[in-house]
Structure 1
Amino acid sequence: MVEGRLAGLCPRPPAPEEIGPGTLVVLAPAAPPAELRALYRLCARALDVGRHQGREGL
């Protein structure tokens, strides 16, 4: 958990059948560790916007 959100680093994105209904997953491109903080902030913002718009899926 990062700032109350489930966050993780994975070697590949999940397949659509691996996420539950009503779930929204936001992905960032692979990046060096020094860039992860900024990418996390962008993903968190994208998640907020997507939820506000009622989006789900990848």
Structure 2
Amino acid sequence: ELLDAGVNRSPSAYLNNPASERSKYKYDVDKEMTLLKFVDDEWGPVGSFNWFATHATSMG
């Protein structure tokens, strides 16, 4: 989980979703990041890719 990495651009709109839908999620935005790490047996970490969804409005 990446906390404080993005914001919901319209929390009031999110609250218009049914409570049954909102209760499926801990936050009003996706806080999950996926990391694919490449490690060489001899040299250790050699690279990585990561994915984290964010909207431009989260950047200011």
Q: Which has the higher helix share?
A: 1
Over alpha carbons, which structure has the higher Rg? 2
> Above 0.5 in TM-score?
no
TM-score, structure 2 as length reference: 0.27
Q: Which has the higher strand share?
A: 2
